[in-house]
Structure 1
């Protein structure tokens, strides 16, 4: 057998030597690590890796959170601009005094009527429905004041009537002219406004599937259609008929104001029981036809408070007064003393009373007694069917001419 070649560089002493040691970093611990030290080092490496992953996740979460915040702000601004219509706000000097903000909020609500064939250069029609709402949040009460559309205000308009103030005013938004006049003549602060196109009122009622309302007696229109008395679910067209009809009453426009209380009561009752699906259904119609300077945040805050107000704490009043003639046209003139009493008792809960002599309202005559000037009418009395107003105000001639076979539409 051939011998294996021998390595000329082989030396027997090499058999007793291990592999040459690897160079050691001058910065390392030259001593061999014990098992315990090795486990500690592994734990430290694991902890560091875990901390690194946590930081990475936090960074991703922060980025997502920031993106969501930016998106929410963008959506809020978009919805807020849609809800407010991008309209202007009321002058600050006519609002509630600073000491009472948070306790009371006062809102001017107006229904806008546009006559067919007439031009409206500033986009504002006649404010044929004027409702001043004072929400005493501290006492959890709401007082509502109906101001007749024909209220005589002097030479502020060419007609002398309050319903033309916003139409003929030069302010922006146009409703600010009406809010300013109410502040000056009634001495009432106005914080916000809400206006609705009367022709679109029925669209909003239809959007929520109708509204349940109490009709105090049969109402007959000029065409012989009759809306029968009783509590019933009505559609938008019938709701508009209830709000607009005035020829069925012995005192015309004043009777219409009193009938409108039944609609206000029904709307408030519906709103207080609104499920979220109905809010979503009515929102497109609301955005299209309603203009307001109440932003989404304030609107949400007020809504959560309004739903907690019991119906017996919601009281409706009409400005005391009577119809009279100025030249060739009929107007409504206020009764100063009775008006001052109502305003001081129900609309200035934390402010000093304003005597009748300090109001800038014009009283042309005072010959008839005032309706509900002392106590008003609670929403509870309407809801329960105990409200007193009704049959005594029906015009017999108008009622006799109607037919009970066809519902109003």
Structure 2
């Protein structure tokens, strides 16, 4: 059943860290273009008008067969406060960029830590830019409208992080969508990998439990902010949860039940993709190996900061988005 395959594929995309997602073939196409940056791979590199860049004696050219889709898991209850200017419209707590090759029909997931440090653009309530402050990439979402504008701003920052690589499309899903998806499929069974009883007493190490929507939200959202790498731990739980959800979805054979699930989630999503564009994803083979933006976690001013290793990230960008000449 093609509809079912589409759902499984999109779930596989998001399982790298998105807090919530299932299939989206019934999503209504929404207009809007994510922010795009026109910068080259790096100002230190020699770039000519043909889009050729040089790095370590090798020449590369942008691969025009590559397109990207940014998947975001959004916590609408989270706020941001940078430069004494609060952002009230949530945070993108998980970010996964699907890199697709339209000719080869292959795809790769690039996982981005929500704590990656970038320059955050701060706007007032009327949309006027006030200033730029150093902050976690997850915070940029808060300074939009909580829907299309927030997605566009976040997509623009992902583009900046990746040296100007275009983010062609986006799709966000809220935590409420996660709860709805979990309850709709009758719960998700997981085996708890570590002791997370601080989050919920039932999350004992080695315990096999079936999560309802309420518990699922705790499992993929909560973390101990006193632990420096707690976001990495949470991302691992998110991945585990989504894999279990994919398996549960594979067991749904009733087309009516499957399409009903799509419809139930529509209100929790924001996207500039049409249903037809999402349907095309069923034709792609997604790599099981997930690429992560490289870096290290430090603690500063009481907050975790993920400092991106730009030298290693540049290699990843050249490998994913460029052709060697």
Q: What is the CA distance between 1:186 and its match in structure 2?
A: 0.9
**What CA distance in whole angstroms lies between the structure 2 residues aligned with 1:116 and 1:328?**
17
Instruction: Report what 1:114 is aligned to.
Output: 76
Instruction: Report what 2:17 is aligned to.
Output: none
Q: Which among 325, 335, 339 is matched to residue 313 of structure 2? A: 339
Instruction: Report what 2:162 is aligned to.
Output: 186
Q: Which among 251, 260, 264 is matched to residue 242 of structure 2? A: 264
Q: What is the CA distance between 1:272 and its match in structure 2?
A: 5.6
Structure with more relative contact order (C-alpha pairs < 8 Å, separation 6 or more): 2
**What CA distance in whole angstroms lies between the structure 2 residues aligned with 1:223 and 1:209?**
20
Instruction: Report what 2:220 is aligned to.
Output: 243
| Pair 1:160–1:143, CA change in 2 (3 A) | same
Q: What is the CA distance between 1:265 and its match in structure 2?
A: 2.8
Query: Do the aligned partners of 1:142 and 1:314 also contact (CA within 8 Å) in 2?
Result: no
Q: What is the CA distance between 1:305 and its match in structure 2?
A: 1.8
Q: Which among 117, 123, 137 is matched to residue 152 of structure 1? A: 117
SS at match of 1:225: coil
**1:61-72 alignment, distance < 5 Å:** none
**1:72-221 alignment, distance < 5 Å:** 83-84=27-28, 86=30, 88-91=32-35, 103-115=65-77, 124-154=89-119, 156-157=121-122, 158=133, 160-169=135-144, 173-187=149-163, 188-213=165-190, 215-221=192-198
Instruction: Report what 2:260 is aligned to.
Output: 281
Instruction: Report what 1:386 is aligned to.
Output: none
Query: Do the aligned partners of 2:33 and 2:168 also contact (CA within 8 Å) in 1?
Result: no
SS at match of 1:110: strand
SS at match of 1:286: helix
Instruction: Report what 2:271 is aligned to.
Output: 292
**What CA distance in whole angstroms lies between the structure 1 residues aligned with 2:214 and 2:249?**
19
Q: What does the per-residue CA deviation read over 1:323-356, in whole Å, with 9 as the maximum and x for residues that have no partner? A: 22445544221112232333334x32xx247xxx
Query: Do the aligned partners of 2:73 and 2:173 also contact (CA within 8 Å) in 1?
Result: yes
| Pair 1:324–1:294, CA change in 2 (3 A) | same
Query: Do the aligned partners of 2:94 and 2:114 also contact (CA within 8 Å) in 1?
Result: yes
Equivalent residue pairs, number: 261
CA-based RMSD: 3.8
1:229 maps to 2:206: yes
**What CA distance in whole angstroms lies between the structure 1 residues aligned with 2:36 and 2:79?**
36
Q: What does the per-residue CA deviation read over 1:267-301, in whole Å, with 9 as the maximum and x for residues that have no partner? A: 44455665323422312321111111111111222
Instruction: Report what 1:25 is aligned to.
Output: none
Q: What is the CA distance between 1:235 and its match in structure 2?
A: 2.7
| Pair 1:233–1:305, CA change in 2 (3 A) | farther
**What CA distance in whole angstroms lies between the structure 1 residues aligned with 2:238 and 2:108?**
15
| Pair 1:250–1:164, CA change in 2 (3 A) | closer
5+ long unaligned stretches in structure 2: 1-23, 39-50, 52-61, 123-132
Q: What is the CA distance between 1:261 and its match in structure 2?
A: 2.0
Query: Do the aligned partners of 1:142 and 1:315 also contact (CA within 8 Å) in 2?
Result: no
Query: Do the aligned partners of 2:140 and 2:153 also contact (CA within 8 Å) in 1?
Result: yes
5+ long unaligned stretches in structure 1: 1-79, 354-409
**What CA distance in whole angstroms lies between the structure 2 residues aligned with 1:239 and 1:92?**
34
Query: Do the aligned partners of 1:112 and 1:197 also contact (CA within 8 Å) in 2?
Result: yes
Larger Rg: 1
Q: What does the per-residue CA deviation read over 1:20-55, in whole Å, with 9 as the maximum and x for residues that have no partner? A: xxxxxxxxxxxxxxxxxxxxxxxxxxxxxxxxxxxx
